[in-house]
Amino acid sequence: MASVLFSALTLSGLPQVSAVPSALFPRGEPPPPPPGRCEGKPVGVYSEALEQCLTQEISSQKVFTVAQCNGSELRSVSYVNASGCKGGPGVQQYVQSFDVNKCIHMPGTRGTSTRISCDGTSATFASWSLAPAPPSDVSCDGASAGADSLQVSCRVDAREIDEVSFEVASPSGRPFLTVTGPVGAGGEAKTSIPGLRSNTQYRVTARAHRRGEQEGNPDAWSRLSSQSALCSTAKGGLQQRPQGGRPEGRLRRPKTRWIETYRLVNSYGPADELLPDFLDQHNGADLPGIMGLVTLGGSAPGLPLTRYCVEVLDVQVPDVITASVDGRPQTAPFADYASCNQGACRCMHQVDRSISHLPARQILELCAGHPPADKINNTCRCPESSVSRSSRYVGRSPIPLPFYTLSSLAASSFVLPPSYPPSYRPEPVGSFYSFPVGGRCPLGAGVGDRSCTWQRSPVAHTVHTDDLVQMGLNVSSSTARMQTNKTTGETISIEVDYDATVGNLRIVERAFAALRPPPCGEPAAAAAGETAAIVV
């Protein structure tokens, strides 16, 4: 078993610089879990000797570590380029300190909280998982099955679970349809799955979301239920178009608009289940906006590309500088775009600004000369008024094509080439979006209730990149043109071929059309007299 202290050292003690902006790899990266989850039976207990020199290889490098505990603090010292637990010429030392007898998050761990205790000879690490237990008793009500719908249910512990996600697949395939629903007080989650084909068999599984956690944190979701339900829709009959929005509620509602947004989920662990990771504290894009990322990352096997429908409050936000490529302040229906990574949405990253072709002057004024705010070297600092609005309203920035990124801005050297910004085609122009948890409507609430500003439809559709490749998606290396520094070999910029991007866009449109998703906001939003259903 790997040493807990060595694992913590890997991500916190030894410096690791990421040169990847949040927009380039929009994977489901969870935030560190807050303390206070060290309750019940731990999922793991591990002991480590004190006052002994321990050895382990990290990235083919031998590291020596010795730990001491004084009853209130565990202190470890690690030695790199050494022959043991001692200093010397060329030896690098890394010191870490951890509270004892408190619920903490250990660097190098994911989705767990830890409590450390010490005796005279060893330190004991007990860990608790944020992920809840999977649902049980997944079933279908055959008597209620329609020609285009299924009635499904499962059971969970309502004290721990507030939401369940039902995943629908063909009997031997991967999930292509996700439908979320709340949990009743008795622990039953029950919902209708719309938009299916008549007289067809489907396999339904479920996963549970821990109450009180962000929906966009993948570590707050259980694994898929080990038990599934094999369900069949009824024969023939009138098939109704599934709703793309929320059910009808109040007769008088604030004016809203609907947007269609997509996320490409990447794996960040070999055992991860690749499933939709939703939108809270995440970035998304419309299809033209995300196609550069799909073209660059589509060769990775089986990544899910998920389509969501989102209802947003129809607002006019002042002094927005990410609304258009000229970067001029203007009043816009979206806030300044925020770059989201590991559950935190911050002032738009300098690399993301280059993807949007925002002016060099803006990038230098906001981003040059500041220390990094995160592990992906975000050096941009936005005015507090902009940060406040981006933390409440959905943010947006334009994505011109050909898709272009000045990736050198992710490194410590901050240089804008004279050729920036590059030219682009007049259409299509895509969009990136940011979805702040501060504006998300609670489960069951409508947009505008309790001052919330956006709500995700419970229905989402997914295609997978390897299926897209079989349909002809062009992911060859020739689609990307890289400019490199001839001296250092550093990548300066990446541009994705325009024709390949547009061709891939048509393939993805066909793939989603085969799933028959309804237009966002119809028919639910269209039926509500005072709600404007506008897809942007």
Q: Classify domain 136-233 at the CATH topology level.
A: Immunoglobulin-like (2.60.40)
Which strands form 188-193's sheet, in the order they lie side by side? 136-140, 150-155, 188-193
Contact indicator for 107, 196 with CB cutoff of 8 Å: no
Phi, psi of 221, rounded to the nearest 5 degrees: -105, 145
Res 271: pLDDT? 58
What's the CA gap between 350 and 335, in Å, rounded? 17
CA distance 127 to 273: 22
Cβ neighbours around 133 below 10 Å, total: 15
**Residue type at position 160:** E
Q: What is the pLDDT of residue 3?
A: 59
Please tell me the pTM assigned to this model.
0.83
Please report, for the chain, the start and end positions of each structural domain, with discontinuous segments joined by +: 44-129, 136-233, 256-515
Task: Report the pLDDT value the prediction gives residue 109, as an integer from 0 to 100.
Answer: 72
Give the pLDDT of residue 33.
Answer: 46
Bond prior to 421 in cis (omega within 30° of 0): yes
Q: And the tokens for 300?
A: 């990775």
Task: Identify whether the C-beta of residue 288 lies closer than 8 Å to the C-beta of residue 502.
Answer: no
- pLDDT, residue 312, reads 98
Tell me the C-alpha distance between 436 and 391, whole Å: 5
Best CA proximity match to 259, nearest among 390, 391, 430, 386:
430
Which long-range contacts link 17-20 to residues 24+ away (Cβ below 8 Å)?
17/375, 17/377, 17/411, 17/412, 18/375, 18/376, 18/377, 18/410, 19/376, 19/377, 19/407, 19/410, 19/411, 20/376, 20/410
- Please list, in sequence order, all residues whose beta carbon lies within 8 angstroms of the beta carbon of residue 291, skipping any fewer than 6 positions away: 401, 403, 430, 501, 502, 504, 505, 508
What pLDDT was estimated at residue 142? 80
- What are the structure tokens assigned to 178, written together? 């996700």
Burial of 534 (0-12, 13-18, 19+ CB in 10 A): middle
Task: Mark the ranges of the chain whose per-residue pLDDT is less than 70.
Answer: 1-36, 59, 108, 237-251, 267-272, 412-413, 523-536
Mean pLDDT of the chain: 86
Cβ-based neighbours of 438, under 8 Å, separated by 6 or more? 391, 392
DSSP state at residue 221: B
pLDDT score recorded for residue 248: 47
Query: What is the pLDDT at residue 201?
Result: 96
β-strand partners of 463: 305
The two beta strands, 395-399 and 335-336, are parallel
Residue 41 is predicted with a pLDDT of 84
